[in-house]
Amino acid sequence: MTGIFDNDPQSNTVNNTDTPGAAAVSDAEALTASWQRVTQRMRKDIGEAAWRSWIKPLSVSRLEDGTLTLEASSSLARERVNSQFADRLRVMSAAEFGNVQQVEVRIARAAGRKLPSAPPRITDNAPARSPEKDELLAGLDPRYTFANFVVGKPNELAFAVARRTAESETVAFNPLFLYGGVGLGKTHLMHAIAWHIREQAPNRKVMYLSAEKFMYRFVRALRFRDTMSFKEQFRSVDVLMIDDVQFISGKDSTQEEFFHTFNALVEDGRQVIISADKSPTDLEGMEERLRSRLGWGMVADIHPADYELRLGILQAKAEQAQINIPDKVLEFIAHRIASNVRELEGALNRIMAHAMLVGREITIDSTADLLADLLRASSRRISVDAIQKRVAAHYGIRVSEMFSTRRARDIARPRQVAMYLSKILTSLSYPEIGRQFGGRDHTTVMHAVRAVESHIETNPQIAEDVQLLKSLLSN
Ligand code: ADP
Ligand code: MG
């Protein structure tokens, strides 16, 4: 295989601390030189923007007992490096230095050292920014850009409206409401919008935060009787993005405040962008007026990635990392890990780390071994689709009857059983299940679930059917 460490004649120039008698890497210059090579590898691996922001500003401090110590200029930088790049740094440092089991990032203490004094910058070409602006966008992931987002059928609408919103000088859709299941790219798209506006229209004041943070700040403002400045802070932005708004479901006073902030901004012609795990109408625990208000602008959903998109994402990420993974292996992963993109990425990262470390060809067998736990978890999850097929087969009806409006008993009964099984075997809500049964209302699903529950009590045949189907589906 072509590992990224091949054909690098330099990689053995620094003594391995394992070798008896060899000088340990104590020489500061050698250490720095080696560290430079590690950072160049990181640069290829994670891309220019992320590298400039997070890796380049690091400096190397020492290598002792298998621990490579690096210094960062701020706690933000340290956290980011630890949370996102620690594994790669370890693998790449191990390849360069030999004996590195651990990479530690400290905050630089001593003044007067050769350290970048400014906090990491995200882009070089952007004009100088006020600290206040950096604060508004703190926590944006440099990898979450439009360029890094792979588009396919399931997410093309969300991608298109996100781009439109980011590019538009004026308010495009208000609010823009993005929704979809966990790990499907909502946060990625939101960050991408923020990055884009930040670069293309640096004068527009963009604020991104999770609904959880919003609530946290609100509660703090209440506690310190400082709601005025809280309000001002939010109402002075041009673009407000709130991620995972479902978090404030059931939190009444936060919702109330959010509603007012939201209205004030929209009425003033500022752009509001919201994400959630459900559509506005399905957000349980949200006040009716807020739900309806959230649905006024553009609502775009991200569907679970289909096989093609999953494969596309895997190919793009492997290519970015410049790690050669056989097509067969990528196809295998795309087939077997269907849950969400985050898990897909996790699986790929594991395979890539392995490839870098052992340098042996990756095969389907070794992949299956490495991913055994993920593959098991993935096959345990049950889809409504699978339930409908299984139930239809059991009762000898066509799958299409699951979506039809026919009410004949021999059709309606199996359909109800399928709805019931969907409720107990998946984590979907009533409205979501209704939608997958030909767009039925959530009350229909609730009724079906109750009906089957009571049949199970009174009708042994149904009880047996349900039991059998349940065990067939759970394996
Ligand atoms: P969500 O916010 O919907 O839970 P995220 O935006 O955090 O999901 O996405 C999870 C991970 O999957 C992130 O690392 C993200 O970059 C990646 N991801 C999701 N969709 C795509 C895509 N279409 N192309 C590339 N990466 C994606
Ligand atoms: Mg998210």
**Percent of the chain clearing pLDDT 90 (strictly above):** 52
CB distance 187 to ligand 1 below 6 Å? yes
pLDDT in tens, 246-255: 999 999 999 9
SS3 127: coil
Q: Which residues surround the ion ligand 2 when the cut-off is CB under 5 Å? A: 186-187
pLDDT in the model for residue 464: 92
Residue pair 187/302 in contact (Cβ under 8 Å)? The answer is no
Confidence band, pLDDT 50/70/90 cuts, at residue 134: low
Confidence band, pLDDT 50/70/90 cuts, at residue 342: very high
- pLDDT of 474 higher than 80: no
pLDDT in the model for residue 144: 95
- pLDDT of 320 higher than 80: yes
Q: How far apart are CA 449 and CA 430, in angstroms?
A: 10
What would the 3-class secondary structure string for 172-228 be?
A: CCCCEEEEECCCCCHHHHHHHHHHHHHHHCCCCCEEEEEHHHHHHHHHHHHHCCCHH
pLDDT in the model for residue 1: 36
The CA dihedral of 272, 75, 215, 182, to the nearest 10 degrees, is 70
CB distance 183 to ligand 1 below 6 Å? yes
CB distance 185 to ligand 1 below 6 Å? yes
Confidence band, pLDDT 50/70/90 cuts, at residue 123: very low
Chain position carrying tokens 């009708």? 459
DSSP 203-216: TS-EEEEEHHHHHH
- pLDDT of 119 higher than 50: no
- pLDDT of 131 higher than 60: no
Chain position carrying tokens 């039991």? 467
Ligand 1 atom 1, closest CA = 183
**Mean pLDDT in residue range 108-135:** 44
| Mutational pocket test of ligand 1: of 85, 188, 244, 348, the residue with most ligand atoms within 8 Å of the beta carbon | 188
Ligand 1 atom 19, closest CA = 185
pLDDT in the model for residue 109: 64
SS3 240: strand
The two three-digit tokens of residue 230, written as one number: 């809280």
Confidence band, pLDDT 50/70/90 cuts, at residue 434: very high
Lowest-confidence range among 104-118, 198-212, 369-383? 104-118
| Ligand 1, atom nearest to 185 Cα | 6
- The more confident residue out of 291 and 339 is 291
Q: How far apart are CA 176 and CA 245, in angstroms?
A: 13
Lowest-confidence range among 84-98, 235-249, 368-382, 438-452? 84-98
